[in-house]
Amino acid sequence: MYSTPQSCFFVTLSIHSLPVTLSQQYSPNNINMFGSKSFQGGVAKMLTSLTCLLAASQICVAAPHTSQLSTRDVHQIYSRRPTAEIQDFEDKIKACDPYVPQGEVQFLDFTPEGNHLIGSQGFQGCFGIVIATKQGAIVGHYSQDPQDLAKAKTEIRDLYNKHNAQVGGAPSYLYSAVEYPSGEVTQQDIYDQYVTFLNDLTGKDPVHHSYTEAANLLTDEQIDNEDYAEEFLAGGIVVSNSGGGSAETDILFVTIDMLRDSTFA
């Protein structure tokens, strides 16, 4: 898991083609007192998820432009040792300037020469919003709270209108938590309101990318044997561009496959 000074998680994607000690010392090996095996498994998974959350306590509970961004879901990049992909992700998230904390949205202009990176991580049930072109990007990170939704609508709209020359009419991306394995959005009402808002703002529905809590991906056998990593990855986003106003924009989202890989011991 990647920690940052802010309380939030992270995701990855690039846009090439639109095809991410409790009292009693309770632990997964100390729950026989709870009765049936299925109930034990549920308690174990709950405790494991809580342990993961505590370990990840820095995360959240007029120039013409083109929409031909590159979007890639990065897979299998956080296992026993860093792969080239995860190292790339780690380097980029550390280099993000600005880094977007939970509860905020920021814009980054890509037209000046030089590398530009903007992102956020620590998504744990939160929503991520990206509106990006070759000229610039808006990235937001908001909780499931309805008040945060209202705040997001105001702040995103203000930035979108202010920087319309760079991002006006651009495609948008909505990053949200889902249940596993059903894929059901965890906060459907909030999700639907974001879809309506982004459609009204940009003229098209957002492209959906999803993540889940890594603890949801553990098998009963992994839990029973405590066979999982001490720290799990969480959702995250990085948007990068090499500058100049005509370079390809890359959007990276942390995917469910990445989250699963992060649980491997």
**Sequence ranges of the domains in the chain:** 59-261
The answer to which of 30-34, 162-166, 190-194 has the lowest mean pLDDT is 30-34
- Going from the C-alpha of 112 to that of each of 115, 135, 219, the distances in angstroms are 9, 9, 48
Sign of CA dihedral 127, 133, 134, 135: negative
Residue 135's nearest CA partner among 223, 40, 227, 247 is 247
This prediction's pTM: 0.73
Model confidence at 218, in pLDDT bands (50, 70, 90)? confident
> Average of pLDDT values for 22-35?
36
Residue scoring higher pLDDT (256 or 162): 162
* pLDDT: which is higher, 219 or 20: 219
Could you tell me what percent of the chain has a pLDDT over 90? 51
Phi, psi torsion values for 126, nearest 5 degrees? -80, 170
Contact 72, 14 (CB under 8 A): yes
Is residue 238 within 8 Å of 89, Cβ to Cβ?
yes
Least confident of 41-45, 98-102, 119-123: 41-45
237 vs 68, more confident: 237
1 contacts: CB under 8 Å, gap ≥ 6: 55, 56, 59, 231, 232, 233, 234, 262
How many Cβ atoms sit within 10 Å of the Cβ of residue 187? Answer: 20
Q: Is the per-residue pLDDT at 58 higher than 50?
A: no
pLDDT digits (tens, 9 = 90+) for 114-169: 999 999 999 999 999 999 999 999 999 999 999 999 999 999 999 999 999 999 99
Weakest-pLDDT range from 31-45, 123-137, 145-159, 191-205: 31-45
Residue 3 is predicted with a pLDDT of 37
Report the candidate in 64, 71, 23, 69 with the shortest Cα–Cα distance to residue 47.
Answer: 23
